[in-house]
Amino acid sequence: MSDEQLVKVTAPLKLVVTSPPKFSPYPRPIREIHVLELTTRCNLRCRYCPSPQKLRPHEDMAWETFEQSLRFIKKLCDIGTQGEVALTGIGEPTLHPRFVDAMAALRQTLGPHRQITVSTNGIIFPEELAVEMKKHDVKLYVSLHRPERAGLAVEIAKRHGILVGVNNSAAISAMYWAGQVKWYNSHPQPAWCDYLRLGWAVILVDGRVTQCCVDATGEGVTGTVWQEPKDVPMKPFGLCAKCSFTVPD
């Protein structure tokens, strides 16, 4: 995320040094689950987001799928390549009925030193949730889709020392989700795809694993959390040709 996309604040982020990537010809192995999508449900209908189009069913991740996702992540921790996990996706993660339980379980899996972040629209963010996030050392980004509502979430998060940034990228550093929404691109160019470059992947709400952070349909799925990480390859796919991020060699 660029400086143009993110207004930074003072809560410290942890830095976990993983072993350096050794680039190899495609297909490349997954090194890190960078995004864990707890839900595809959302309480907003932003025109620049694919969620309102229902390109995938609106649903919450089943708890059994979440537990299997943790096992998948733990294997990447064990080999030393797993870093930060972001609870985000095309839904609002705090809507998951077991959101607090999920934070606690993810923290137990990652241990005390790896970063956990949450991205929220801040529409519903009570004080009690900030307390739980601080308890499990989870940091927060607030997206300013509705600033008149999100502002309160920003203030609550600041009081509890969990806010690391507010995101206004839809206005000043926009993207059109590789042609999946009718919007525009204004984010800095050139921009490399860190997912393919660094071996980052996304666990979707149904347990499938995709290699793309803007994969709204599941076109980039190459496996599931019920497989071994080494058996889930990463390589460019159809959506890459339409994307404003550059595919690395």
Q: Where residue 65 sits, what CATH number does that domain have?
A: 3.20.20.70
Tell me the pairing of strands 139-143 and 116-120: parallel
CB burial string 198-227: b at 16+ within 10 A, e below = bbbbbbbbbbbbbbbbbbbeeebbbbbbee
Judged against a pLDDT cut of 60, whether residue 20 lies above it is answered with no
d(C-alpha 120, C-alpha 100), whole Å: 14
Could you give the angle at the alpha carbon of 201 between the alpha carbons of 197 and 204, nearest 5°? 155
Domain count, the chain: 1
- Output the CA torsion sign for 26, 27, 30, 35: positive
The closest of 217, 190, 192, 187 to 202, measured between CA atoms, is 217
What is the tens place of the pLDDT at every residue in 82-114? Answer: 999 999 999 999 999 999 999 999 999 999 999
At residue 34 the predicted structure's pLDDT band, cuts being 50, 70 and 90, is very high
Query: 18 in a domain, yes or no?
Result: no
Query: 99 in a domain, yes or no?
Result: yes
Instruction: Give the domain range for residue 39.
Output: 6-10+27-242
Query: 38 in a domain, yes or no?
Result: yes
Given a contact cutoff of 8 angstroms between Cβ atoms, the answer to whether 91 and 13 are in contact is no
Query: 15 in a domain, yes or no?
Result: no
* SS (HEC) of 166-229: EECHHHHCCCCHHHCCCCCCCCCCCCECHHHHHCEEEECCCCEEECCCCCCCCCCEEEECCCCH
Give pLDDT, residue 109: 98
What is the tens place of the pLDDT at every residue in 195-242? Answer: 999 999 999 999 999 999 999 999 999 999 999 999 999 999 999 999
d(C-alpha 16, C-alpha 200), whole Å: 15
Q: Evaluate if pTM is beyond 0.85.
A: yes
Give pLDDT, residue 151: 96
Query: 197 in a domain, yes or no?
Result: yes
